[in-house]
Amino acid sequence: MTMERAVAPAQRAVDILGGDVSESALKGYLDGLPGVDAVGLEQRAAGLGTRSIKTSSKKWALDRIIELIDLTTLEGADTPGKVRSLVAKALVPDATDLATPRVAAVCVYGDMVPHAVEALGAAHGDPDQGLVSVAAVATAFPSGRASRAVKLADTRDAVAAGADEIDMVIDRGAFLSGRWGQVFDEIVAVKDACRKTDGRYAHLKVILETGELNTYDNVRRASVLAILAGGDFIKTSTGKVSPAATLPVTLLMLEVVRDWHRWTGEKIGVKPAGGIRTSKDAIKYLVTVAETLGEEWLVPHLFRYGASSLLNDVLLQRQKLASGRYSGPNYVTID
């Protein structure tokens, strides 16, 4: 299945660095990346943020946004019942319009994975085929403050329970201290822990927590590091830190992915998460992806929105297109 590309942990780094995957080699490579022109980046993002789409294309855009959402609940008060309700909404986002597409995935804590898998039933599978994946946050999300053994056990438990995707957090303390080899090794180890009994891998999304990385240069370095270590996706944020996803940071990550693709021919996914709450904002990201990487990236295995409240706004906008008037919030389910 598309969702389960098997990239051997660290193989990319071996290929790029010529077999020397040492701390000094990583540091030399990452330090050699060109600096980010912050003014230029923010101007490009601002320009893309003003692009509009034709009214005739708006329904397509809204439907595509739904198909790219990781519908999320990550609260300490989550229960099996809440997860079952989330899955019900993922499968039938709008009970008044059964033609509404399904979301790409539901994203939950690891201990909620069995409940999500059970609730999905036969609809559990590859979102590129119209099914719904189960994503689990792991590695001591959101802080990442735990021993590596705990992080790997967290990952293995979620995969064994049926998670198709793992959203891990990097050790930002280690990264900001310049211990890039430690961050690299941990991503490699988590990727290895994503291996299933049949030899396939759960899809690995690497959360950079860009709001804590302080500079655009650090975001670029962390993005490249995550790709080198075997990440299938690079993800902006946990949604628990402010700022979360921003258009300039997401554009920068998309440009890293674009350059990687031009260099290697390999496609990496991008997931902005946190703070994208309205259709208007989501369309800005959609346009930015299309302009930077092409519409071929607007598929579930290459682009996702991490969101909890975005879906309701998109549904209200769809209803307005159909009826010509805005529905009240009572016309969508409460998350």
Lowest mean pLDDT among 73-77, 315-319, 322-326: 322-326
Does residue 135 lie in a domain region?
yes
Number of domains in the chain: 1
Q: In the structure, what pLDDT confidence band is assigned to residue 6 with cuts at 50, 70 and 90?
A: very low
Residue 235 annotated to the active site: yes
- Of the candidates 70, 154, 164, 167, the residue annotated as catalytic is 167
Q: Is 58 a catalytic residue?
A: no
Q: Write the pLDDT tens digit of every residue in 283-294.
A: 999 999 999 999
- Note the pLDDT of residue 257: 98
Specify if 162 maps to a domain.
Answer: yes
Q: For residue 3, is it within any domain? A: no
The domain of 121 spans 11-56+104-273+281-306
Q: Is 82 a catalytic residue?
A: no
Residue 236 has pLDDT above 90, yes or no: yes
Residue 2 has pLDDT above 60, yes or no: no
Average pLDDT of 54-65?
Answer: 91
For residue 323, what pLDDT is reported?
81
Whether residue 212 lies inside any domain: the answer is yes
41 within a domain of the structure (yes/no): yes
Residue among 235, 281, 284, 313 flagged as catalytic:
235
**What pLDDT does 332 receive?**
63
The verdict on residue 312 lying in a domain is no
What is the reported pLDDT for 322? Answer: 85
Q: How far apart are CA 292 and CA 219, in angstroms?
A: 17
Say if pTM beats, i.e. exceeds, 0.75: yes
Mean pLDDT estimate for the chain? 93
Residue 32 lies in a domain: yes
Predicted local distance difference test score (pLDDT) of residue 10: 77
What pLDDT, in 10s, does the model give residues 176-209? 999 999 999 999 999 999 999 999 999 999 999 9
CATH number, domain of 257, equals 3.20.20.70
Q: Is 15 a domain residue?
A: yes
Q: Give the active site residue among 271, 281, 284, 313.
A: 271
